[in-house]
Amino acid sequence: MRRLTDDQRARVEKLAREAGTTCEGCGSAQLRCGEEARRTHDRGLMVYLWCANDVHPRGAYQYFTLPAGEVIGT
């Protein structure tokens, strides 16, 4: 597990938006990047995105994998 900086999280959020990622529960595109990231076996980076929309009383989480080669400074 590695912790992402604010800049890295902003970069992930931008990449997720550019990839057209939306909340699986409500369809919102305003997803926030979690604080931790994990390397995948093929050298990508897996993070989680959460949706703060009020329709999810406990929040909604989903995984997002950055392809290998997407450099966010880790």
| Residues engaged in binding Zn ion (CB under 5 A) | 23, 25-26, 28, 51, 53, 60
Nearer to Zn ion, 19 or 68 (CB): 19
Cα(29)–Cα(18) distance, integer angstroms: 10
Nearer to Zn ion, 64 or 72 (CB): 64
Q: What's the min distance (Å) between Cβ of 14 and Zn ion?
A: 18
Q: What's the min distance (Å) between Cβ of 13 and Zn ion?
A: 14
Q: What's the min distance (Å) between Cβ of 57 and Zn ion?
A: 11
Rounded to 10 degrees, the C-alpha dihedral 73/36/8/27 comes to: 130
